[in-house]
A and B are shown apart, each in its own frame.
Chain A
């Protein structure tokens, strides 16, 4: 079993108002079977034993689906492996890259304020969903699920968009810290389905306006998000969202209100 010592430069920041800085640690006896986060767990246990503040980082499922983990590793959002979240990086692959030194940073974006160390606040993404990332269907009022067949290719494509885990790597990787891929994934998922048509125009308007209001940058078509996205969501969905938005504002001017729940 291969073992290695790895030098880590980790962003430490005690709270939102702290300026933050890198600190250097040595992770010893890192084995090829460990995951990247297990390496940090191990380091943290040692820090705790030494009475030092362990590195705070977000994680939960550790199987690439909850979207909680979030680190920029040596300049790559979620690390260098394609379609892989931070929690799914295994040291085997880090060894293969010959890395002895690793820089770990949080997602950096105005809309994702840092809470502590590598933990950022991503509630802005929830707010974008609140603006219309849903189909307004009252519980219990649905018709039979098989009443409206959906061609398989359309359903599959909708799935490709729906698979977004809301991790925010797209924002982290984007040179403009834009949330376009995240927003487009939801817009695209619902716009493709017959159920999503009724609110299609109001949805895209409201979600895009909210994305902008929250201080994310605008898309300038670099395509970095698509590469960083652990679910491989295509920037074609951004183009489709753009088209829908233009349509909603130019062709179908209609009502620019978000769907009103009349709470």
Chain B
């Protein structure tokens, strides 16, 4: 039997492995992102100092950004090609079909994924490129929400005082939670990280991480709206780097 030389990516399993690997990168970033943001609770100075520190290391910043862009593209492209394949594997649907094992999260990956993508784009436009895009004007035309170039803390806190920012944020993070609930467990399965002794903990870990990230991220709008995090009147000054 002549089989053509097989490359990993040719196989559906390879594609899932790519999704798992890129998923790990994205998960790592999400965790890092949260832990950075938690500095908001330490106060505006700390938070802004952290933001400034990030910008003093362009190599790290850009390295990370490139890795993220790569991971995102790989994740999305693989997901898309699997989705297409899987659709064509069963074009005729059942009149009746009962699900016994799968859950909402697993079935809606192709929904939570795109929601997340849109949210991330929105989030980037909002906080990463906000300066460039909105100049000194109002952000997304939200009255009273103006960009403060040297004060990321205020950009964050002010934002959560406005529903048009909060709503996408909450939705995006709920999608994130759901996506990760299945994604993390799925990742173990896809790369074959299984062992009879530890298998039961894979679910637990997935639930824990998904919950941690969702709750952590959602804590910011809640804290702002509850008045626990407030805009600062301090002035900061650091170079505007991208």
A and B touch in the complex (CB under 8 A): yes
> Contact size class for A?
35 or more
Query: SS class of chain A's interface: helix, strand, loop or mixed?
Result: mixed
B12 to chain A: which residues have CB within 8 Å? 178, 208, 211-212, 217-219
State whether B91 touches A110 (Cβ < 8 A).
yes
- Distance of A92 Cα from B94 Cα, bound (Å): 25
Q: Are A206 and B109 closer than 8 Å at their CB atoms? A: no
> Which A residue sits closest to B92, measured CB to CB?
A108
Q: List the count of A-B residue pairs having beta carbons below 8 Å apart.
A: 168
Whole-angstrom distance between the alpha carbons of A110 and B91 in the complex?
Answer: 7
B side interface size, CB within 8 A: 49
Chain B residues near A241 (CB, 8 Å)? 13, 192
For the complex, give the distance between the alpha carbons of A105 and B93 in Å. Answer: 10
**Distance in angstroms between the alpha carbons of A223 and B98 in the assembled complex:** 13
Determine, out of A135-143, A192-200, A243-251, the stretch whose residues face the partner at the interface: A243-251
Chain B hits for A88, CB < 8 A: none
Given A209-B11, A220-B186: A75 in contact with B1 (beta carbons within 8 A): no
Contact B100 A221 (CB under 8 A): no
Query: Beyond the given A256-B6, A260-B1, could you list 8 further A-B residue pairs with CB under 8 A, ordered by the A residue number?
Result: A76-B100, A177-B86, A219-B13, A219-B16, A220-B106, A242-B191, A246-B17, A256-B4
30 A/B residue pairs, CB under 8 Å, sorted by A: A11-B95, A22-B95, A75-B94, A75-B98, A76-B100, A109-B90, A110-B90, A111-B89, A131-B3, A208-B12, A209-B10, A212-B10, A212-B12, A215-B88, A215-B89, A219-B190, A220-B86, A220-B186, A222-B106, A228-B100, A238-B189, A240-B192, A241-B192, A242-B192, A244-B192, A246-B13, A246-B17, A246-B191, A249-B7, A256-B4
